[in-house]
Amino acid sequence: MDQDLQDFTDYLSRVAGKSPNTVRSYRADLSGFLHLMHLHGIDDPAQIDLATIRSWLAHEASTHARSTMARKTAALRSFFGWLSRHGRIKTDPTLALSSPKQSEHLPRILTHDQARTLMDTVDHDPVEPREDEDVQAALQVRDAAMLELLYATGMRVAELCGLDLDDVNRRSRTVKVLGKGSKERVLPYGLPADRALDRWLGEGRPVLAGSTAKSARKAGQALFLGQLGGRVGQRQVRKVVHQAAGQAGVPDIAPHALRHSAATHMLDGGADLREVQEMLGHSSLRTTQRYTHVSIEQLRARYRQAFPRA
Query: What domains appear along the chain, each with residue ranges and CATH number?
Result: 1-86 (1.10.150.130), 112-253 (1.10.443.10)
Cα 168 to Cα 200: distance, rounded to the nearest angstrom:
13
Confidence of residue 199 (pLDDT cuts 50, 70, 90): very high
Q: What is the mean pLDDT of residues 121-135?
A: 61
Q: Active-site positions?
A: 156, 180, 256, 259, 282, 291
The reported pTM is 0.64
Cα 140 to Cα 125: distance, rounded to the nearest angstrom:
9
Cα 266 to Cα 257: distance, rounded to the nearest angstrom:
14
Decide: 271 and 246 in contact? Cβ < 8 Å.
no
Cα 254 to Cα 42: distance, rounded to the nearest angstrom:
42
Residue 296 has pLDDT above 80, yes or no: no
Confidence of residue 80 (pLDDT cuts 50, 70, 90): very high
Residue 275 has pLDDT above 50, yes or no: yes
Question: What are the pLDDT digits (tens) for 208-235?
Answer: 887 666 766 777 889 999 988 889 999 9
pLDDT on residue 310? 40
Question: What are the pLDDT digits (tens) for 27-77?
Answer: 999 999 999 999 988 889 899 999 999 999 999 988 888 888 888 999 999
